[in-house]
Structure 1
Amino acid sequence: MSRILQRSHIAFVHDVFMAAISFPLALYLRVGDGVRFYQADNILFSAALFTLIAAASFWYFGLYRGIWRYASLNDLTRIAKAVSVAVAVLFLVLFLTTRLDWMPRSAPIIQWFLLMALLGGSRLTYRIAKDKSTARALVRQGTTRLPVLLIGAGDEAEAFIRETERSADTPFKVVGIVSLTEGRVGRNMHGVDVLATADKLEDVIKKLEMSRHGVPRRLVLTGDALRHEDNVKWVEIADRYGMTLARLPKLGDLREGLADPLQIRPVAIEDLLGRPQARLDRDRVREMIGGKRVLVTGAGGSIGSELVRQIASYGPASLTLVDAGEYNLYAIDMEMAEKFPDLPRESILGDVRDRVRIGQVFDHVAPEIVFHAAAYKHVPLVEHNPNEGILTNTLGTRNVAEACRAAGVATMVLISTDKAVNPANVMGASKRLAECYCQALETLPLDQRGPTRFVTVRFGNVLGSTGSVVPLFRRQLEAGGPLTVTHEGITRYFMTIAEAVELVLQSAELGRHGVTDGGKIFVLDMGRPVKIIDLARQMILLSGLRPGKDVEIKVTGLRPGEKLYEELFHDSEPPVPTETDGVMLASPRVVDYAEIKQVFDALEDSATNRNTHQTLELISKLVPEFQPPEIGVKSIFADTPAETANQVTGDTA
């Protein structure tokens, strides 16, 4: 600490000295030898006065909090502010005392540029000297750095190359850059050439192989490259040439000080989604959540726990966590205690199936915003246990929704799934029924619905969530394989957990302004679907293994209720964009509240009594697209044939 203080004091003395000589030098530059005709007392008084003013200004603007070795544009900006204030104050004082009768009017301008050069130039000279000494030290030590090839010639690449040249500790040396566009090919970035475009990656690697550098040891992707549609090919190319695939920190993390520019990380499967992830309008979400009482059901699950984390960061008045699983609830509660110890919160064991318990919780907490994430989501398990799926996913949603109405909750957000579109399984149908109930409530007249807005958010598979394919593949890889895929052609939409939750929060903010009038549903634009077999191959390659040689991929056949591909929209519900990029609106069929209430009462009776046949029949009445093989049930839309109903009303998402 004393050493830092000594250095800052030395820098301060240096700057004050430069300020002291800047006034007479500026005057000399203006009038030349004519300076001898000016009164020495005026010059000395003005120089001394400016020295005192400049010293105060320099310290006030924090010129000594930075490190000269890492002088940057921010430091230059601070210097400019400090010099401008000091020069302005000096000449204001001189004008008030002497009317500047003896001084040329251009002297302040000359002094400003002169002092900027004296202060900024010395810092730049010091930085250059230190960087050169570091480079010489590396040469003397015979330091060998790993050759790396960058894909992407943007700001992240520039920051990484700059730090590798500056730092004595980095083990990397950038030997070339592959650009994503033609515009930067042939140009140079801190002495590193942009060799070609990404479609010529293999040619670049072969060319480097014949050079003194040899084949690069690592292929490093920047943020733009991670979102490129060819990133899957690069995984295979890296494997072919024995290169390790890695990625740079995101530019946003660098700007916010969350990452080291020299840190390169293994590429995770979520990095290869091939599209930019949706981003949150944080100010609007903070306005929605800040100071509000918020309740999350299913708070211990993958989506629920991420919801809790993000909501807590926006400063709610209180946060209530509800979950039926003791351990999951305990885990997220402990995490909140560590990260947000001052946030008023309550963790409550409770099952959304239990209407009385949910009512007690709402009476006790009086939430203003409710996020309903409690659900069974594993398709084969719900297919084999349809009554349990209906009791939790469908009737549990009804219990929460009616509790919201009774408590006067401002906004309820139902988290749904793409499997609710043309559902081929009980899980998808149970979520579609949940959507139908919230839609029916949303379309009620205000005097019947009350103040509550019912917002439904639909999205696809979440990478890394419990029960999803990625954790399964990871476990299978750890066991040595094989990785099991149910069908070679099966595809799914994917997003990250954080992205899914950001969508939920953004949709809640939009929904409270009436965007979902008429029972509309929010859907994320998830880009193109991903083939599961390709996902398996990528995970094997990213583990440093070879598909088909080191680890087998086994096709096991479709499971009960499993579809080859999922849909985000029904054919008859065309997407409508919203003011938020990546968030769209669907307009699926809306069922009358009186009709759906009657069927739900019957569903409660059949599911509670575990009358599976009757449960499936009732599901099909509200969701005619869902037709179990053993039954054929006439739609409740008796005046409209099923085929026509699908075409006209759209389905069921």
Structure 2
Amino acid sequence: MSYGKRISILMGIDILIIWLSVYSSYLFRFDGDIPSDYTRQLVLYIVVSTLLCTISMYYFKLYNRVWQYASVGEIVSILKAVVVGCIASYLATYILSGWQRVPISIFLRAFETILLLMGGSRFAWRVVRDNWVVKNNMNRKALIIGAGDCGSMIAKELFQNSASKTTPVAFVDDDRYKHKMHIHGIPVVGDRASIPHTVNSFEIDDIIIAIPSVPKKEISKIIEICKKTKAKLKMIPNISDFVHGKVSIKEIREVDVEDLLGRDPIKVDLEGIANYVENKTVLVTGAGGSIGSELCRQIAPFRPRKLLLLGHGENSIYTIEMELRDRFPELVLETVIADVQDRARLNDVFRKFSPQVVFHAAAHKHVPLMERNPSEAIKNNVFGTKNVAECSDEYGVERFVLISTDKAVNPTSIMGATKRIAEMIIQALDTRSRTKFVAVRFGNVLGSRGSVIPHFKKQIARGGPVTVTHPEMIRYFMTIPEAVQLVIQAGAFAEGGEIFILDMGEPVKIVDLARDLIRLSGFEPEVDIAIEFTGIRPGEKLYEEILTSEEGMTSTKHDRIFVGKPSVINNAELELEIKHLEKVLGSEQGPIKQMIKHIVPTFQKIS
């Protein structure tokens, strides 16, 4: 409907309302028999009211509002318009009729009727539309957890958005004073303990967690309750979205495995980090990878003088470069396409840019793949690290942070063993260098390339089965952002030679992770989606460790960062063994594994 046509229809309805209101007021006042001496006043009052009330409605912009979204603001505007219009009409009629006063009873009745009918006609459209939306959106029913401001806004949005195929039918809130109350006509049925019963009673399809200000530990507990149901879980991402007015159905996302970890945001020592990053040239190797790119994102706000993005893949480096240029337009960036195995190229980079802080994230990390390609793992993880570390020493880098892994502890894989050798290289270098060399060791990160979570999601999307290697397989997990935050924080504690260990929380069974993902996707494990066990892959072990036998763990200033005692490394002996390792590159796996076992005695060769 065009704007002009819409205004014409609304004005026509308002004029009819004014005529009916004024005329009926005279009829009621005189019991249906209007005296002849009041007839002229009646006509004049109708004409004046029509003109002035319409002008008042137009002035208060009541013809420019979308009434399907009408709320308290519209009620106030209608009240203002009717009050001003009726009082002006009353006074104008009094003057134009030769000072003949309109009876107060007629004025009040006309005012009440105009207000009731004008407001009612506009809100009737919203009622009709809301009922139509509910009827047409009833293919999915939603339970909203949280009957506060955020939950109320989500319910309203679901009702009003024609694109929504979900209708809220109940609230759950731990505030007992809200129980048995109604919000937007939706009942608050109980607290979190009532979630399973509510889902069954109302035949809920979706549960929406709308409590963005609640600590993550509490969110995790609520999710555990929701997992007992067959409903699909969704949530409002965080409190900032609510504060900035971004609460809408577009902001509702599916609950992910990260939410199950239940860890609150990490507290970082901003001053300590700024002291070693701010106004420094910082080099990140493997900058296009999952960890490397996140390092770049989190280093950028600390205002480094220059951030060097070094990587082997041009596409991934281009992607993170464009993102950083968009998010941090003042940041000085340099992108470097280089392979850490190319010592000559690294010399050029260090000579040209003179980095002061190096985060070494470039590595081959896929365990089964590296078992089949051991020489490539050694070239990248051992000799690549050696090249970057020795350049850091030679060109006077202040601080070098190696990204390591818990798979380096008593390794059973080529990948884990090569990362342990990388740790040994930087610990040996630290004893004779002015550069502070440290390593940071952590477990699996959720959402990284090749991690189990995206793989499970693809299998669920295909209808299963979800494949798990072993029912007792256990891993530690962190999100990429929290792991990187702790890596940067650990760099501030570096004195040289340490291996920092991140607190990964409680270990998680991979099969439980698979079941959680299936439930969070709205399916029943082993009923809708099957789980199959495929057997442990080459190089894998059932659980990971965080310390070697010779490392003792002590605390740091941060409650989630611990430090292992530096190992005693014989420099000359390690150098000789690495040369021997270089000679067996390209050989069969047997000689390679034997040489690795000689360097890393805790390496457990698994055929």
Q: Which amino acid aligns with 1:176?
A: F
- 1:188/1:233 Cα in 2 relative to 1: closer, same or farther (>3 Å)? closer
**Equivalent position to 1:578, from 547, 551, 556:** 556
User: Counterpart in 2 of 1:535?
Assistant: 513
How far the C-alpha of 1:195 sits from its partner, in A, is 6.0
Contact 1:486 1:557 in 2 (8 A): yes
How far the C-alpha of 1:218 sits from its partner, in A, is 3.1
CA–CA separation in structure 2 for the residues paired with 1:137 and 1:523: 62
User: Counterpart in 1 of 2:384?
Assistant: 396
Deviation string, structure 1 residues 173-203 (Cα, Å, up to 9, x no partner): 5733243xxxx54566996787655455324
Contact 1:292 1:368 in 2 (8 A): yes
**Greater CA radius of gyration, 1 or 2?**
2
Contact 1:491 1:565 in 2 (8 A): yes
Q: Which amino acid aligns with 1:160?
A: C
User: Counterpart in 2 of 1:236?
Assistant: 227
**Equivalent position to 1:596, from 571, 574, 585:** 574
SS for the counterpart of 1:397 is helix
SS for the counterpart of 2:350 is helix
Alignment TM-score, normalising by the size of structure 1:
0.65
**Equivalent position to 1:565, from 527, 543, 550:** 543
- 1:136/1:598 Cα in 2 relative to 1: closer, same or farther (>3 Å)? farther
User: Counterpart in 1 of 2:428?
Assistant: 440
Deviation string, structure 1 residues 271-295 (Cα, Å, up to 9, x no partner): 2223335344445434432221111
Deviation string, structure 1 residues 352-379 (Cα, Å, up to 9, x no partner): 1122221111111100111100000000
Contact 2:407 2:416 in 1 (8 A): yes
- 1:162/1:476 Cα in 2 relative to 1: closer, same or farther (>3 Å)? closer
Deviation string, structure 1 residues 512-544 (Cα, Å, up to 9, x no partner): xx2xx5x33222211111211222222223333
Contact 1:372 1:414 in 2 (8 A): yes
How far the C-alpha of 1:422 sits from its partner, in A, is 1.5
How far the C-alpha of 1:141 sits from its partner, in A, is 4.5
Alignment TM-score, normalising by the size of structure 2:
0.70
User: Counterpart in 2 of 1:552?
Assistant: 530
Contact 1:279 1:499 in 2 (8 A): no
User: Counterpart in 1 of 2:247?
Assistant: 260
Aligned counterparts, 1:107-118, within 5 A: none
Deviation string, structure 1 residues 351-409 (Cα, Å, up to 9, x no partner): 11122221111111100111100000000111122221111111211111111111111
The answer for unaligned runs of 5 or more in structure 2 is: 1-71, 74-119
How far the C-alpha of 1:563 sits from its partner, in A, is 0.7
CA–CA separation in structure 1 for the residues paired with 2:447 and 2:396: 35
SS for the counterpart of 1:495 is strand
SS for the counterpart of 1:581 is coil
Aligned counterparts, 1:593-632, within 5 A: 593-607=571-585, 610=587, 612-629=589-606
Aligned counterparts, 1:151-550, within 5 A: 151=145, 158-161=148-151, 163=153, 169=160, 173=168, 175-179=170-174, 184-185=175-176, 198-205=192-199, 209=201, 214-221=202-209, 222-223=211-212, 224=214, 227-228=217-218, 230=221, 233-239=224-230, 243-255=231-243, 257=244, 259-260=246-247, 263-442=251-430, 444=431, 448-450=432-434, 452-511=435-494, 514=495, 517=496, 519-550=497-528
CA–CA separation in structure 1 for the residues paired with 2:466 and 2:428: 43
CA–CA separation in structure 2 for the residues paired with 1:134 and 1:484: 57
CA–CA separation in structure 2 for the residues paired with 1:529 and 1:573: 21
- 1:328/1:249 Cα in 2 relative to 1: closer, same or farther (>3 Å)? closer
Aligned counterparts, 1:4-23, within 5 A: none
SS for the counterpart of 1:313 is helix
CA–CA separation in structure 2 for the residues paired with 1:133 and 1:591: 85
- 1:360/1:253 Cα in 2 relative to 1: closer, same or farther (>3 Å)? same
SS for the counterpart of 2:576 is helix
Identity level (%): 40
CA–CA separation in structure 2 for the residues paired with 1:271 and 1:199: 19
Contact 2:553 2:562 in 1 (8 A): yes
SS for the counterpart of 1:227 is helix
Contact 2:389 2:426 in 1 (8 A): yes
How far the C-alpha of 1:341 sits from its partner, in A, is 4.4
User: Counterpart in 2 of 1:39?
Assistant: none
- 1:197/1:422 Cα in 2 relative to 1: closer, same or farther (>3 Å)? farther
Q: Which amino acid aligns with 1:627?
A: Q
CA–CA separation in structure 1 for the residues paired with 2:275 and 2:189: 47
Contact 1:178 1:194 in 2 (8 A): yes
Q: Which amino acid aligns with 2:171?
A: G
CA–CA separation in structure 2 for the residues paired with 1:134 and 1:360: 73
Aligned counterparts, 1:36-47, within 5 A: none
Farther-moved stretch of structure 1 (398-407 vs 308-317):
308-317
SS for the counterpart of 1:405 is helix
User: Counterpart in 1 of 2:117?
Assistant: none
Q: How many residues align?
A: 474
CA–CA separation in structure 1 for the residues paired with 2:155 and 2:414: 58
User: Counterpart in 2 of 1:101?
Assistant: none
Deviation string, structure 1 residues 577-602 (Cα, Å, up to 9, x no partner): 32223222223633233332222222
How far the C-alpha of 1:488 sits from its partner, in A, is 1.3
Contact 2:232 2:519 in 1 (8 A): no
- 1:282/1:134 Cα in 2 relative to 1: closer, same or farther (>3 Å)? farther
Contact 2:143 2:169 in 1 (8 A): yes
Contact 2:232 2:521 in 1 (8 A): no
- 1:313/1:334 Cα in 2 relative to 1: closer, same or farther (>3 Å)? same
Q: Which amino acid aligns with 1:333?
A: E
How far the C-alpha of 1:233 sits from its partner, in A, is 3.7
CA–CA separation in structure 1 for the residues paired with 2:122 and 2:587: 75
CA–CA separation in structure 2 for the residues paired with 1:204 and 1:248: 20
CA–CA separation in structure 1 for the residues paired with 2:513 and 2:578: 39
SS for the counterpart of 1:561 is coil
How far the C-alpha of 1:134 sits from its partner, in A, is 11
- 1:344/1:226 Cα in 2 relative to 1: closer, same or farther (>3 Å)? closer
Contact 2:170 2:188 in 1 (8 A): no
- 1:189/1:616 Cα in 2 relative to 1: closer, same or farther (>3 Å)? farther
How far the C-alpha of 1:430 sits from its partner, in A, is 0.7
CA–CA separation in structure 2 for the residues paired with 1:314 and 1:216: 46
Deviation string, structure 1 residues 483-537 (Cα, Å, up to 9, x no partner): 21111111111111222221221112222xx2xx5x3322221111121122222
Contact 2:144 2:168 in 1 (8 A): no
CA–CA separation in structure 2 for the residues paired with 1:173 and 1:283: 46
SS for the counterpart of 1:467 is coil
User: Counterpart in 2 of 1:91?
Assistant: none
The answer for unaligned runs of 5 or more in structure 1 is: 1-68, 71-131, 631-653
- 1:164/1:269 Cα in 2 relative to 1: closer, same or farther (>3 Å)? closer
How far the C-alpha of 1:135 sits from its partner, in A, is 9.0
Contact 1:574 1:586 in 2 (8 A): yes
